[in-house]
Amino acid sequence: MSDGRKLLEEMNDRSREVFRRVVEGYLLTGAPVGSRNLTRDMSEKVSAATIRNVMQDLEYMGLLDSPHVSAGRVPTQSGLRMFVDGLLEVGDLQAADREMMDSTMSSNSQDVAGALDRIGQTLSGVTQGASLVLAPKHEAPIKHIEFVSLGHDRALVVLVFADGHVENRIFNPPPGQTPSSMREAANFLNALIEGRTLSEVQSVIARHISERRQEIDQLARAMVESGLAVWSGEGEGPERLIVRGRANLLNAGAEEGDLDRIRTLFDDLERKRDIANFLELADEGEGVRIFIGSENKLFSLSGSSLVVSPYMNADRKIVGAVGVIGPTRLNYGRIVPIVNYTAQLVGKLIADRS
């Protein structure tokens, strides 16, 4: 990024203006920008031939590209990065956008998951992109756990938290489990977990199972371990990812001929590949970050951009992230303040409900 700023500083005023206008034109229309169009907008009177020479220089520098021989220019990924870092003018949050996001907070319900879902849906609608909300795992102390048989190869584990929140998941119990082994497993867990958060439970249970191997039946021990494996989230992060606005990206892709790449992106999201890295995207602290194309491996194949901001709980700890995915020609100046404000709303929601 520093190299891009240095390159920008070394440009003369004409090259910098041509570059800026090409990028702004592309972000506005998604189409290549030609020299003839620029002659009408330049601050100084210059010929189309002069502008073409400047554009060729910018193309040689790797900042612009020509999709067709006779077409205008579009910014490369490097060019977009330099524009975002050095020339992007971030506007104020528009009143209409603020009102739309504020409307998601009108409910007094304690259903955090439902509120986050509404926020994601509204964020997608406001930005016309795909929204991502990475919800934190529930960290209230646990009050009670129970196993319920649903058949010979299926069982339900129910977790009740001290704040009244209830979560349940279906899992595959060990073969041969009986009602008595399920009760024994639940009794063993309830004697240990009360007052502890979910993140504290795993190591405590593992240690006690090891120490009290003779006291707990082998089948009940297998029930405990199977049930806990469900909560450890094997194969995915413990956080919940809410994705809304798939149709928006597919529509954008239809215009650019990128449907296959957009489908690849959503396949990755649905498999939750690299989702745990979302919090790592925000490892530099507060503030919105912009990832363009291959700068983030989750979106490298789709060629999409991600605008993401972390949010914090009442203890000022980063616990999740809010983002918008769209084509590289996103209106960054408008979307950055929307994502930033949405992250503040989600942080307040989490802090108020905790």
Same domain, residue pair 175 and 203: yes
- Provide the CATH number for the domain around residue 101: 3.30.450.40
Give the CA angle between residues 255, 257, 258 to the nearest 5°.
Answer: 110
Same domain assignment for residues 171 and 258: no
Measured in whole angstroms, how far is the alpha carbon of residue 62 from the centre of its chain?
29
CATH of the domain at 40: 1.10.10.10
Q: What is the pLDDT of residue 1?
A: 47
Category of 325 on φ-ψ map: left (φ > 0), alpha (ψ -120 to 50) or beta: beta
Q: Is the pLDDT of residue 32 over 70?
A: yes
User: Residue 346, exposed/middle/buried by CB under 10 A (0-12, 13-18, 19+)?
Assistant: buried
User: What is the value of pTM for the model shown?
Assistant: 0.71
Number of structural domains, the chain? Answer: 3
What is the predicted pLDDT for the residue at 82? 93
Least confident of 18-22, 26-30, 51-55, 62-66: 26-30
Q: Tell whether 256 and 342 lie within a shared domain.
A: yes
Name the more confident of 260 and 291.
Answer: 291
Q: Do 171 and 38 belong together in one domain?
A: no
* 125 and 251 within one domain: yes
Supply the pLDDT for residue 248: 75
Helix (H, G, I), strand (E, B) or coil at 157: strand
Which residue, 232, 252, 282, sits at the end of a domain? Answer: 232
Distance CA 133, CA 63 (A): 32
Q: Among 6-20, 59-73, 79-93, 281-295, where is mean pLDDT lowest?
A: 281-295
Alpha-carbon gap, residue 167 to 159, rounded angstroms = 5
pLDDT at 237: 44
Examine the domain organization and report whether 270 and 221 are in the same domain.
no
Residue 336: how many other CB atoms lie within 10 Å: 23
Q: Which residue has the higher pLDDT, 35 or 338?
A: 338
Residue of higher predicted confidence among 135 and 92: 92
Cα 345 to Cα 108, 115, 338, distances in angstroms: 14, 11, 11
Per-residue pLDDT band at 342 (split at 50, 70, 90): very high
Angle in degrees, 0-180, between the axes of helices 95-102 and 112-127, rounded to the nearest 10: 160
| Range list of β-strands (E), 64-153 | 64-65, 74-75, 130-135, 142-151
Task: Round to whole Å and give the CA distance between 148 and 167.
Answer: 13
Q: Do 267 and 170 lie in a common domain?
A: no
pLDDT, position 286: 62
Residues 246, 133 share a domain:
yes
167 and 21 co-located in one domain: no
Q: What is the pLDDT of residue 238?
A: 44
Residue 81 has a pLDDT of 92
User: pLDDT averaged over the chain?
Assistant: 79
Last residue of a domain, one of 190, 207, 232: 232
Domain that holds residue 273: 95-137+239-352
Q: Do 17 and 110 belong together in one domain? A: no
Q: Is 101 exposed, middle or buried (0-12, 13-18, 19+ CB in 10 A)?
A: buried
**Which comes out higher in pLDDT, residue 348 or 151?**
348
Ranked by mean pLDDT, the top range of 2-6, 174-178, 183-187 is 183-187
Residues 249 and 333 in one domain: yes
Tokens representing 4 are 């891009």
Give the integer Cα–Cα distance in Å for 84 and 66: 20
What is the share, in percent, of the chain residues with pLDDT greater than 90?
22
Comparing 52-66, 77-91, 219-233, 269-283, the range with the smallest average pLDDT is 269-283
Q: Is the pLDDT of residue 71 over 80?
A: no
Residue that finishes a domain, picked among 45, 71, 87: 87
Q: Do residues 332 and 339 touch, judged by C-beta distance below 8 A?
A: no
In whole angstroms, how far apart are CA 15 and each of 19, 89, 109?
A: 6, 18, 55
Average pLDDT over residues 288-300: 75
Please check whether residues 185 and 112 belong to one and the same domain. no
Rounded CA-CA distance 229/157 in Å is 11
Given this model, what pLDDT does residue 337 score? 96
In the block, residue with structure tokens 């590289």: 328
